[in-house]
Structure formats: structure tokens, C-alpha cells
Structure 1
Amino acid sequence: MGYFLLFEGMLDSVIYARDHYLSPGGLLLPNRCSISLLGVADLVRYGELVGFWSDVYGYRMSCLQREVVREPMVEVISEEKVVTDTCLLTQLDLYTCTIDSVDFTADFELRVTRDDTLTALSGFFDVFFDLPCHVMFTTGPHKPPTHWKQTIFFLDEPIPVKLGECLK
């Protein structure tokens, strides 16, 4: 598993091992994964990483803001910075998925949970071990941080949002 589940391209190795070494009836664990998205309101962090380039020791270097926004960041988001509900983007059954399964698009709908300013979208993943005693873990901001943290996609510009508003 890589950041946001798919970064680092490790799924290819899992599929290869499954197809070449898993015995019939064998267990593949985790056997199921999902990828989700939510909205973040963190003007302080946005200012540190994106707004910073507006005035770098008296020099306007705002042309570099585009480069910062283009690259996702991998950081821990505190739960109080989450400003929307969560939307499931996709699920992968590791027993049946193919390399092409990671090439997907997904419509999403996020319901705003309070008046605030949206600065980023953030992705995380969950993994499931479907056993008689069900086990799962999440890399979402609503649980203790993991090695994978969350993946943050900063917006070009912050967007004011209102409670109940729907973002698509």
C-alpha cells in the first residue's frame, strides 16, 4: 500500500503475487480496500505552503504557488480541520481487481458540515480483512494517525463554504 493507497504503484506487485503464487482457496490479506475523499479547511497551513510565495522576504514569487498546488502533500490532518462529510470514491476487491482497476474516474459529492473556508480536498484509504473476526483499519483523519497519513490536494484559491452546501 502506498500513500492514498495507489501512490508508489505497489498494487501491481500484489496482483502479480496473487496471480502467480496464491493457492486455490488461499487467503489474500487485506482482501479489500477503499479510497475516500473529504474537504479540509485549514487557512493557516494553506498560508504556510501556498500563500507563502506571495511575499518571500519582500519578493513576489507567486508564480511558484501553481507548483505547490500541483503536487499533493502527505500530512496528518486533524479531525477539527475536516469541513465536509466523506465520499467513497472506489473499492477494490484484491481477489478480482486488475492493474486497470486503478485507472478510474469518480464523481463525488461532499456535504459541508459547517460554515468555513475550503482550502483542500484530502484522500485516504481503508483496508479490510474479511475474516470470521472482521478486522479493518483506516488512514482517515477521524482515527489515530498512521504511517500513510492523508493525501492533501490544495485548491488554487480557498473557497468560502456554508453549512449544508453540496460540493460536486
Structure 2
Amino acid sequence: MGSTGNGFAGDRAATIRGGTVVDKDVDFANYFCTYGFLYHQKEMLCDRVRMDSYYNAVFDNKHHFDGKTVLDVGTGSGILAIWAGQAGARKVYAVEATKMSEHARKLVKANNLQDVVEVIEGSIEDVTLPEKVDVIISEWMGYFLLRESMFDSVICARDRWLKPTGVMYPSNARMWLAPMRSRLADQKMSDHEGAMGDWFCFLDETKTNYGVDMSVLTKPFSEEQKKYYLQTSLWNNLHPNQVVGTAAIIKEIDCLTVTVNDILNVRASISSSISAEETRLCGFAGWFDVHFRGSKENPAQQEIELTTAPSEDYSTHWGQQVFLLHPPISVSKGDDLNINFSMDRSKQNHRLMEVELSCEIKQTSGKLLLPFRNKFYIE
């Protein structure tokens, strides 16, 4: 979730730049179809943080759009393309992979921009434009920034169609990680224990009533439930007081220069310090921010930030990605955490992610707690 559908290459299959071969029809069925529904577009259009950030980025920096050519990658409802046109763009190419393009055309015409905004249905890897563009604008961010792998398509568009002097909207992105506390950890552990208790009742009843011993399936069932309840990361909107330590950047991206290979995996070794008094370390929260800065040669007149960090005042449809520990660990103010983080694309689905997270905790007393390593799935 987070951006309008776009991005597969080839006639029947596309070789993703990580070596994963993806069938075009399967990818469309699993991913793009969601973005073809107005209810999903409405959810994103109701995200005030998202909308205000892009609106301000465009209209506070009209010099990037006035009289210029613009490419909107994954236009969805067409809102960004319409804003670019209202900001004075000479021509806007709005590319959308789904039938949402039909709604986008109606909106463009209803806002009297049909002579400026051209909606093109197709994947950005396949379409051909008649000219290079001055600006590429796209809302490509998924959960924890990189889920959905739509940024691949934006990079493809940049390499094919952006002028050497062109700018990217957004221009920069960052991923953050911080220690957190949450009752979700207890809830998910309870849910897991309940599922396993139900399984053992099922075994007894099946053997008693039907004479079949199914206990040989206990191990795979247990692994399945462990992944579902304990290892699958969760979407959540956290309150700032649930963040119990300093946040650290685990990835910085320059949208003008980054390559697909640069984002196939994320590796970071970071440090954090517990800032709350006696509390529980229940896991780690991940979020992102993006910035609209223009380029070094053509900077923004007004830099805009869109952040999905925990806040008292707002929430976004992205929220934060939560990686829970089972069981939680007691920590105190001043304890130091050394964290190793890695994230790779799932081998089964290149739009999903697998995370490995390890941590060493040094208490204020100087005692080292036993290091732990956990695997998580962003699905």
C-alpha cells in the first residue's frame, strides 16, 4: 500500500533486476488489481499528510513545473498530474497500469486540463513518450518505504525519460528504526499460544473420533503459526511515547542517482540508547520520510518533508512497520543497543520483504545481555 499501481516489464514475463523472473499476469493479479478500485484510491486521497506534502511540494515550487514537461509514474486517480498542470506545466504524461486510467481521464477533463495532461494506460517499462521530461513525480512509497518494489519502475522511468537537468519529486528518502514498547507483543504471543492449544485439541478429537493420528503435522503447523503470529511484521500507528529509545537512519536514498541494485537489499549497523525509564523493549519500529529538495543545480525554493514517524497530531495510511520481540526484554534508561539490520526481497514475491534483525544490549551497569537474532516477514 502507498502508491498507485505501476511496473512490470516484457510481454509475458519480466526479469527483475535482482534476478527474479516475474510473470506479468501474476504480478498484475497479485498487486496492480488493488489499485484499480476507487475505494483504495480514496484511502490514499484521504491521507492528509500525504496530500498536503505533495500539494505543497508542487505549489511552493512552481518554478519546477511552469512551462515544463512532467511524467507522473503510476498516476492512479490523476491527482498529481492535475496539480502539475495547475502549476503551469506545458505537458504532463500520466502513466497508469490499471483501468484507473479511465477515471483519471474523466477527472482531467472535468478539471479542464485535457489539453495538458495525457493519461496513458500501460506499464512505464513498456510505454514510449515522444520527448524527455523535466520532472518525474510519483507517489511510489510502500510500507516501510520499499515494500511493493514500485521504486524500480520510477528508476526505470528516470533512466529512460528524465532530462540530465531534470528533477525528481520526491528527491530523497530515508528509512528509520527505533526501539519501541507495545502491548501487541503480549497479544500476539497469546494468540499464538491459543492457536497451538487449539491444534492439540484438534489432534485429540481427530484421533478419538476418527481414528487418525495427525500429530506428524504438528511441526509444520507450528512453524506456520509462528511465522503468522510471531514473525510477520505489523502495520501500526504508534504514539511517540511508545518509542523508548533514539531512532537511527538505516538507509538514505538520492532518487536522482540510486540504482535498483542499491535497493535490492538494505544493510545497516546502528546504535540506539534507551531513553525511557524502567520499561520493556517489545520490538522495533520502522518508518520513512521523503523530501522534495529539487536538485543541486535546480534546488527547491521551499523544501517539503513527508514523514511517517509516530506522531500525536496525525497518522498516515503507511503508519509504522512493527517488528515484535517474543518475549519482551526489560531495559532501563541509558542502556545501549547495537543493532544489525538486513532486509531483502522475498524469493517467492519480489514485492514483499524479509528482515533479519539482531541486537546486543549493554546495560548501564556494564553487563551485556545475551544477543538475540530474529527473522521477520513484511507481507
Q: Structure 1-normalised TM-score?
A: 0.91
Structure 1 residues 17, 93: CA separation in 2 closer, same or farther (over 3 Å shift)? same
Structure 1 residues 40, 60: CA separation in 2 closer, same or farther (over 3 Å shift)? farther
Identity of aligned residues (%): 28
Q: Contact (CA 8 Å) 2:237, 2:319: kept in 1 or not?
A: yes
2:301 corresponding residue in structure 1: 132
Aligned counterparts of 1:156 and 1:100: Cα–Cα separation in 2: 33
- Tell me by how many angstroms 1:58 deviates: 6.2
1:48-69 deviation per Cα after TM superposition (whole angstroms, max 9, x unaligned): 2222222459647794345322
Counterpart pick for 2:172 among 32, 44, 48: 32
- Tell me by how many angstroms 1:26 deviates: 1.5
Q: What are the within-5 Å matches in structure 2 for residues 82-93 of structure 1?
A: 82-93=243-254
Q: Contact (CA 8 Å) 2:271, 2:337: kept in 1 or not?
A: yes
Aligned counterparts of 1:51 and 1:84: Cα–Cα separation in 2: 26
1:153 corresponding residue in structure 2: 323
2:351 corresponding residue in structure 1: none
Q: Radius of gyration: which is bigger?
A: 2
Aligned length: 167
Between Structure 1 and Structure 2, which shows a larger proportion of helix residues? Answer: 2
Aligned counterparts of 2:156 and 2:178: Cα–Cα separation in 1: 31
Structure of higher RCO (CA pairs closer than 8 Å, 6+ residues apart): 1
Counterpart pick for 2:285 among 118, 122, 131: 122
2:157 corresponding residue in structure 1: 17
1:26-79 deviation per Cα after TM superposition (whole angstroms, max 9, x unaligned): 22110100000011111x221222222224596477943453222111111111
- Tell me by how many angstroms 1:89 deviates: 0.6
Aligned counterparts of 1:122 and 1:153: Cα–Cα separation in 2: 6
SS at match of 1:108: strand
State the one-letter code of the partner of 2:291. F
Aligned-residue CA RMSD in angstroms? 2.0
Q: Which runs of 5+ in 2 are unaligned?
A: 1-140, 201-220, 294-299, 339-379
Q: Which runs of 5+ in 1 are unaligned?
A: none
1:4 corresponding residue in structure 2: 144
Aligned counterparts of 1:27 and 1:6: Cα–Cα separation in 2: 21
State the one-letter code of the partner of 1:11. F
Q: Contact (CA 8 Å) 1:39, 1:122: kept in 2 or not?
A: yes
- Tell me by how many angstroms 1:24 deviates: 2.3
